[in-house]
Chains A and B, each alone.
Chain A
């Protein structure tokens, strides 16, 4: 007998909103800036701006996205932990 499907985890609305905002930032700094790379080809402080964004700026933003996410989720979970019950989760109560 093949195993039955599991029920799906509930997602905390605040966590989902956080994810959506951060994903929007991701799309903006990667696809957004690269789409307009030709228009951004001017020099800022000795760097061609489009080249700097694609080779360094965007990567630094990616790290910031993950750092903010980790920090914010830990805060959410800590706050919910005080009230007892499930964390806002990354899938709390799944499985």
Chain B
């Protein structure tokens, strides 16, 4: 099938369609740029680009609609490796990769700090994982002609529990992941069209659901290919633009080394700057003040409330201007409502002030590998070791998690043969690398731009993007004149990780059409991943759970219908959870990697490579790995600690942060499977 003349003709037709599509896309962008030049308002440009792309994805969904199980679940197993690679790249690169990765690299530099590892660990983990997928897992699963990942557990180990556990874990980690995607959809859509966050979610989700509901894997594959092209363009255009501006060379990944050196020099200057010192001192004073308030929460709250009321009265008595009275009233009503609320708010504010009282507003120096000093004092040595250990642990979890994420593995079910599955993994990594090699470049260029050109400008003449974004959401960007000299210092501006990519076009003074393209790219990244995840969850619910437990005699066409409705309900629930706005995107995604890594990978790899692995051992290994990982995360979550009345802070093993919990879960899973397989086998033999 993979090499007949009909297949060759099919591939040629695909090449033609892709070429046409790319040309049409570029023509559309040029048309939009022309429209902007001739005076089309920004209020229209953004929504037009958003709706045009979402409508196109929906259109592909309608065109690819199917009720045939083979098409719905595995796209007929005839996707050529290059296209499957593109689809897998889009499937893989989520809102976190597109929106937050460059921002994370900006904030964390090489490897983050000892309390929050990150930085290049994300780049390495998310690419290195593909080697595990390609070498150890994907071709073996493709060989078996399966439809879902939990089916492997049923096929290999028999019985009910391996499959049940695998289905449960697949749903658990995919659901965490899909919530993060939908959050990203809401962020981008609301920013681009100015609608409410919740309505943004619904608009974006409409495109996803239409596509995967109608066409399953077949439609998703081709939308993902279309989305890959958009997100690649949307990433490379602003990066190349910025690189050309700063370095005279649009090939950013080759050229940004120079800026790394300049940033190191600028960081030294900032360290010596008296204004930066003043900002840091002010934050230190604030931290001490919150600490003082926290010693007697109720008393301080009463006192603060009285002071604020006093101030309002005073202003009214003085006949002060309306704005000042309103500001004072607002300050009064912004005070915490009760003691518990105050304790929480002030603890957060104290930590925040402490962070920002450090050098560079708490950011580690950009290229420095790990914080602390291996030859320094006891505390410095400890910081260095814990920072390095956390970096390596996070990289490990992301790599192994990549090999266990069901929505990625099912992508390689759609290739025509085992050999093409292997080739397809290599292509996926190639297409991902096109973007991932540019992300550190973008972070560097943005940092240079800020340090060189934005810091030091007067507060009256800040670039307009700063005002716009800080007005939009305080957690994305906040600026305030901390030391009161009217000049912006590096310590006075704080960017959220999600902002860097979205604000880059404005930062570089690019036309608004590039902003629209970036937003469309972010949306494509979130939608493509959400597509794959929703399909995985609904298939796990229907094929691996419902049909196995209750409905063995359902006809194949009805299975497809059931899957479609499961998909709709999952999408609704996920949208609801996302509308509650859980934490930032990046940590949320990273924790679902730990879940996938510890639950699925040990049993899968042992099953594939060790013939003596038994079903009972696999079940025990999955349970052990998953419970250690989940337990470690839960015990260290502040909310849970409060409920269980554990002391505040964290109880960590070897200083490893909870997000990398799989570093304990995975080895434990392997060990349990190994030992129990040997034991159960012997018992059977002895019986």
Contact = CB atoms under 8 A, between A and B. Distances in A.
Interface of A: 2-9, 11, 19, 22-23, 26, 30-31, 34-35, 37-38, 40-41, 43, 45-48, 50-52, 54-56, 58-60, 62-63, 65-67, 69-70, 73-74, 77, 87, 89-92, 94-95
B538 to A, nearest CB: 23
Contacts of B143: 9, 89-92, 94-95
Given A66-B130, A91-B608, A51 B110 contact: yes
A58 B437 contact: no
B436 interface: yes
B430 A63 contact: yes
Interface centre among B128, B160, B418 (most CB of A within 10 A): B128
B429 interface: yes
Contacts of B395: 30-31, 34
A90 B127 contact: no
Contacts of B607: 8
A7 B157 CA distance: 9
Q: Which 4 A-B pairs have the closest CB atoms?
A: A8-B611, A37-B369, A90-B139, A5-B158
B339 interface: no
B429 A41 contact: no
A43 to B, nearest CB: 8
B609 interface: yes
B130 A62 contact: yes
B370 interface: yes
B429 A62 contact: yes
B509 interface: no
Interface centre among B134, B144, B440 (most CB of A within 10 A): B134
Interface string B386-406: 001001100110010000000
B268 to A, nearest CB: 15
B140 A73 contact: no
Contacts of A41: 367-369
Given A3-B158, A63-B430, A54 B123 contact: yes
B327 interface: no
Contact of A69 (B253, B422, B608): B422
Interface string B245-261: 00000000100011011
A56 B610 CA distance: 35
A11 B253 CA distance: 40
A30 B124 contact: yes
Nearest to A16: B609
A91 B399 CA distance: 23
Contacts of B123: 54-55, 59
Interface string B403-440: 00000000000000011001101100110010011001
A95 B144 contact: yes
A41 B260 CA distance: 13
A23 B135 CA distance: 8
Contacts, number: 168
Q: Is the interface of B mostly helix, strand, loop or mixed?
A: helix
Nearest to B129: A62
B399 A30 contact: yes
A24 B23 CA distance: 43
A62 B127 contact: yes
A47 B264 CA distance: 12
A19 B160 contact: no
Given A54-B124, A90-B142, 8 more contacts: A5-B158, A37-B370, A54-B123, A69-B426, A90-B139, A90-B143, A90-B422, A94-B140
Contacts of A2: 158-160
Nearest to A93: B143
B78 to A, nearest CB: 19
A92 B419 CA distance: 12
A47 B263 CA distance: 12
B131 interface: yes
Given A51-B260, A59-B123, A95 B155 contact: yes
A63 B369 contact: no
Nearest to B137: A90
A17 B127 CA distance: 22
A94 B144 contact: yes
Given A2-B160, A19-B136, A34-B391, A65 B437 contact: no
B257 A63 contact: no
A73 B613 CA distance: 26
A25 B111 CA distance: 22
Contact of B144 (A40, A52, A91): A91
A69 B134 contact: yes
Contacts of B139: 73, 90-91
7 contacts: A38-B369, A62-B130, A66-B130, A70-B426, A91-B139, A91-B140, A94-B140
A74 B374 CA distance: 46
B156 A50 contact: no
Interface string B341-365: 0000000000000000000000000
A26 B615 contact: no
B3 to A, nearest CB: 13
Given A9-B143, A91-B139, A91-B144, A59 B392 contact: no
B48 interface: no
Contacts of A52: 257
A50 B158 contact: no
Contacts of A38: 369-370, 374, 384, 388
Contact of B260 (A34, A47, A59): A47
A37 B123 CA distance: 15
A22 B425 CA distance: 15
Contacts of A66: 130-131, 134-135, 422, 425-426, 429
B120 interface: yes
Interface string B186-219: 0000000000000000000000000000000000
A63 B422 CA distance: 12
Contacts of A6: 155-156, 158
Nearest to A11: B609
Contacts of B132: 26
B391 A65 contact: no
Given A31-B392, A58-B128, A22 B135 contact: yes
